[in-house]
């Protein structure tokens, strides 16, 4: 019955299109067995929650809310531990309070969490010391260990991804609704951060936030209502075998939703208008994103909007801009203006990470803190000039004290990267760098 309804909803039309960045599964029977199991597992999210997020994203598109989307470039099964998940949630919550103050609007919190397991790669292979193996494509496909065996795509990993996503999401829900996210607690953590003399430059903003919180208390503000928050789950919907298998018909509306996450996005490498990813995403009703890199044109953006959001529904479509700090001020204006002039409704986010990656002299894939800040600043400038709305931010971050991004007050330099470089794909802001970015953006936002 539900398979017939899914077929009627057209969710298999993508199979006729070219799907880039997919693994070559070696054993079709093993794949079919896993897909059959995933077709029958309970959904990870409820379609109604995705609808709530769509409303929030619509508000961000109007400037009535600000989006913070953050988490790992690539989640790792073995790192889905209580400590790491807690640290990541804590970082996102702390940033949110700081940004709420600067934006004077609610902050919509979305984790790159509980499913961010599939990675597009620039190259199909990786060579180390003269040995060439298939590239690591994320824990949902193969293992990052550099052995022939580990790199063979294994569909069983999709079942692991489902189960690890479920347990991560369970902990996210527990933390955000069980008292951990209480505004007064999060505020106390931020006060602790700003009390460190190394971060004295944020003292003024921290003191202003403190005054605002105390004013709320004095004025009889309902802190109990701020004991819980919503933290939505998101990931790149790259691995179509998995995303299709987690797609369900919403019993309320009869519409198809990808129930692997609340929000799913199409990456820069798979956003061809005739490609399988755009086709698949056009058939689901979640709020969705599309990354737009420096080569995207206004016509590309409008064609994507017409295909993915034909009814021009607010909150359905988010464009995530990742141009690079050196290009955003030149390449973004024509896009924003074309979309504005066509009357196309989208929510604009800045991803200041993916256009600013380079390899350091010592060989680490890294980014500079200042360049990241510069791209977001440029993103705000472009929107201000066009009279459009900068709706939020996507960052790659972790709650741990890793050394992957250069700069910040700790002044991580090329030599410092080696100290604790852990990411398997892209470099992440560490806990301190994430809070610093939030303080600096909060100042920028309050000037808007
Ligand atoms: O996260 C984004 C991409 O997967 C990543 O930047 C690609 O990295 P690569 O160039 O190392 O393959
Ligand atoms: C793959 C990613 O980005 P992009 O598609 O923009 O390169 C990502 O967000 O990790
Ligand atoms: Mn990345």
Distances (CA, A) of 302 to 61, 197, 237, 292, 432: 16, 48, 21, 12, 38
In this predicted structure, what is the pLDDT of residue 448? Answer: 78
Q: How far is the CA of 352 from the centre of ligand 1 (A)?
A: 14
Distances (CA, A) of 19 to 238, 280, 302: 9, 10, 21
In this predicted structure, what is the pLDDT of residue 294? Answer: 98
187 is an annotated ligand-binding site residue: no
Atom of ligand 2 nearest to the CA of 291: 6
List the chain domain ranges: 2-181+228-447
In this predicted structure, what is the pLDDT of residue 402? Answer: 98
Structure tokens given for 279: 């086709």
Put simply, whether the predicted model's pTM sits higher than 0.80 gets the answer yes
For the stretch 184-222, pLDDT in tens is 999 999 999 999 999 999 999 999 999 999 999 999 999
Distance CA 51, CA 55 (A): 6
20 is an annotated ligand-binding site residue: no
For the stretch 30-41, pLDDT in tens is 999 999 999 999
> What pLDDT band is residue 379 in, cutting at 50, 70 and 90?
very high
Q: How far is the CA of 56 from the centre of ligand 3 (A)?
A: 24
Kindly provide the residue ranges of all beta strands, DSSP E only, lying in 246-400, ordered along the sequence: 247-249, 256-258, 263-266, 288-292, 317-321, 347-350, 358-359, 365-366, 390-396
Nearest bound ligand to CA 429? 3
Q: Is the CB of 120 under 6 A from ligand 2?
A: yes
Q: Which residues pair with 212 in a beta bridge?
A: none
Residue 447 has pLDDT above 90, yes or no: no
Q: Is the CB of 137 under 6 A from ligand 2?
A: no
In this predicted structure, what is the pLDDT of residue 202? Answer: 96
148 is an annotated ligand-binding site residue: no
- Give ipTM to 2 decimals: 0.98
> What pLDDT band is residue 2 in, cutting at 50, 70 and 90?
confident
Residue 431 has pLDDT above 80, yes or no: yes
Supply the residue whose CA is at minimum distance from atom 5 of ligand 1. 121
Residue 382 has pLDDT above 70, yes or no: yes
Q: How far is the CA of 138 from the centre of ligand 2 (A)?
A: 13
Supply the residue whose CA is at minimum distance from atom 8 of ligand 1. 121
* CATH for the stretch 2-181+228-447: 3.20.20.70
Residue 1 has pLDDT above 80, yes or no: no
In this predicted structure, what is the pLDDT of residue 90? Answer: 98
For the stretch 280-337, pLDDT in tens is 999 999 999 999 999 999 999 999 999 999 999 999 999 999 999 999 999 999 999 9
Residue 354 has pLDDT above 70, yes or no: yes
Residue 374 has pLDDT above 80, yes or no: yes
């Amino acid at each position: 019955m539900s398979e017939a309804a899914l077929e009627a909803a057209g969710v298999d039309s993508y199979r006729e299109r070219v799907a880039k960045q997919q693994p070559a599964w070696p054993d079709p029977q093993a794949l079919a067995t896993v897909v059959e199991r995933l077709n029958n597992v309970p959904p990870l999210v409820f379609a109604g929650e995705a609808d709530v997020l769509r409303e929030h994203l619509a508000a961000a598109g109007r400037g009535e809310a600000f989006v913070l989307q953050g988490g790992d470039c690539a989640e790792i099964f073995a790192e889905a531990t209580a400590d790491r998940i807690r640290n990541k949630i804590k970082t996102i919550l702390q940033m949110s309070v700081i940004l709420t103050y600067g934006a004077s609007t609610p902050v919509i919190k979305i984790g790159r969490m509980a499913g961010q397991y599939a990675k597009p790669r620039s190259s199909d292979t990786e060579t180390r010391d003269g040995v060439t193996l298939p590239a690591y494509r994320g824990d949902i496909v193969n293992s990052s260990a550099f052995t022939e065996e580990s790199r063979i795509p294994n569909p069983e990993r999709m079942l692991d991804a489902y189960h690890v996503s479920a347990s991560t999401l369970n902990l996210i829900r527990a933390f955000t609704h069980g008292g951990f996210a209480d505004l007064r607690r999060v505020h106390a953590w931020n006060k602790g951060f700003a009390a460190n003399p190394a971060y004295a430059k944020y003292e003024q903003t921290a003191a202003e936030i403190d005054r605002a919180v105390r004013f709320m208390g004095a004025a009889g503000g309902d802190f109990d209502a701020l004991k819980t928050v919503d933290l939505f789950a998101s990931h790149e919907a790259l691995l179509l075998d998995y995303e299709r298998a987690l797609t369900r018909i919403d019993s309320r509306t009869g519409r198809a939703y990808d129930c692997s996450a609340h929000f799913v996005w199409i990456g820069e490498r798979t956003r061809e208008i005739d490609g399988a990813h755009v086709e698949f995403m056009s058939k689901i009703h979640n709020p969705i994103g599309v990354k737009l890199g420096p080569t995207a044109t206004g016509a590309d953006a409008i064609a994507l909007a017409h295909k993915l959001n034909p009814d021009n529904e607010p909150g359905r479509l988010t464009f995530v801009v990742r141009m690079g700090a050196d290009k955003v001020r030149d390449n973004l204006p024509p896009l924003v203006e074309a979309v504005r002039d066509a009357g196309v409704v989208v929510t604009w986010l800045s991803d200041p990470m993916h256009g600013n990656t380079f390899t350091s002299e010592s060989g680490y894939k890294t980014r500079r803190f200042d360049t990241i800040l510069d791209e977001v600043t440029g993103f705000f400038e472009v929107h201000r000039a066009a009279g459009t709305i900068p709706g939020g931010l996507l960052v790659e971050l972790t709650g741990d004290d890793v050394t992957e991004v250069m700069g910040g007050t700790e002044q991580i330099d090329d030599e410092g990267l080696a100290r604790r470089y852990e990411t398997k794909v892209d470099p992440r802001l560490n806990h301190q760098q994430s809070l610093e970015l939030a303080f600096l953006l909060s100042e920028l936002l309050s000037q808007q």
